[in-house]
Amino acid sequence: MTIKRIVFTGGTGKAGRHVVPHLVAKGYSVLNVDLKPLDLPGVNTLIADVTDSGQVFNALTTHFGFDGFNDGKPAGAPDAVVHFAAIPRVLIEPDNKTFDLNVISTYNVIEAAMKLGVRKVIIASSETTYGVCFAEGEKDFHSFPLEEDYDVDPMDSYGLSKVVNEKTARAFAMRFAADIYALRIGNVIEPHEYDRFPAFIADPPSRKRNAWSYIDARDLGEIVHLCLQKDGLGFQVFNAVNDTITANLPTREFLTRYCPGVPVTRPLGEFEAPLSNRKARETLGFKEAHNWRQYVPAK
Ligand SMILES: NC(=O)c1ccc[n+]([C@@H]2O[C@H](COP(=O)([O-])OP(=O)(O)OC[C@H]3O[C@@H](n4cnc5c(N)ncnc54)[C@H](O)[C@@H]3O)[C@@H](O)[C@H]2O)c1
């Protein structure tokens, strides 16, 4: 199916403000749905609260801009919905609000999209589903690499909300025979944030909670684009991360040193990120454009 019109929730946020321009550059027409406006020419923001189902149904059946009035009929549903709006971690809002907002908003967005006949929805899940990011104390991963069939087991309200959202996506994809892809997004790095990497490299334990992995915000835009292009997969989970480990040692040697005792279940690429994007590369054809080594001086 040719996808042209996209409703994007949360486009004003850290990830969205890079993903939305990437999608516009690929030729999609985008309506941003957020509580705050996005300053991007050609993209209107509808100020709407995605925890309110009525507002979500409205947002999915509205003109993207004044041009829409030239069509001579009210707007129909978009071709696809990308849902990024959320409380993006713990310790911003109380735990119950984080869980409540993330779970209800995702239910509302997917339900409205499905009932309006949208056949493609992409939702933002998270690396935190792998259970270590916001764990109390020292918790080990079960095994490496972290891939999409892992038994996810977060103990925090944010990670749990994302696990529930994946189940919501799976239920609706089954019921409506639609494509709903959940992206387990790694730590989002904006272009100006590569100056943080020397500290990451110097202190390996500091990045265990992110599994020594990251996603460049622009490469995340490319993964969303590829998901919009790839039809017919039903419910899917994709790790959305860049290719390589945020360390200078080869991955196998690094994990032996810093995670002794954690099983490694398959041969790893020399510098493969422990949170692996193999599925996105092989299924979607993802090729990263922004490897951290391009931006961080070698020591
Ligand atoms: N930033 C990361 O490292 C990271 C990592 C993994 C997953 N994620 C996920 O990616 C998505 C985007 O994250 P981000 O870092 O850009 O977060 P962000 O907080 O910067 O952006 C989220 C946007 O959602 C909007 N929003 C919040 N509540 C809303 C509501 N009720 N109605 C409408 N809009 C609402 C906010 O105004 C904001 O613009 C989130 O789903 C987050 O959980 C982020």
DSSP 137-206: S----SSBSB-TTS-----SHHHHHHHHHHHHHHHHHHHHT-EEEEEEE--EE-GGGGGGHHHHHH-GGG
Question: What pLDDT score does 29 carry?
Answer: 98
Rounded distance from Cα 88 to ligand 1 centre (Å): 5
Cα gap 223→171, rounded to integer Å? 23
Taking only the tens place, the pLDDT of each residue in 93-124 is: 999 999 999 999 999 999 999 999 999 999 99
Cα gap 59→63, rounded to integer Å? 9
Question: Angle at CA 290, nearest 5°, toward 91 and 227?
Answer: 75
Mean pLDDT of 136-140: 97
Q: Which residues line ligand 1 (CB under 6 A)?
A: 10, 12-16, 34-36, 49-51, 84-86, 88, 101, 105, 124, 126-127, 185, 187-188
Cα gap 228→78, rounded to integer Å? 12
Burial of 133 (0-12, 13-18, 19+ CB in 10 A): buried
Domain positions in the chain are: 5-294
Rounded distance from Cα 258 to ligand 1 centre (Å): 31
Taking only the tens place, the pLDDT of each residue in 153-175 is: 999 999 999 999 999 999 999 99
CATH architecture of 5-294: 3-Layer(aba) Sandwich (3.40)
Model confidence band, residue 177 (pLDDT cutoffs 50, 70, 90): very high
Contact 99, 89 (CB under 8 A): no
Would the pLDDT of 297 be above 90? no
Question: What pLDDT score does 3 carry?
Answer: 84
Rounded distance from Cα 124 to ligand 1 centre (Å): 9
Would the pLDDT of 299 be above 80? no
Contact 118, 81 (CB under 8 A): yes
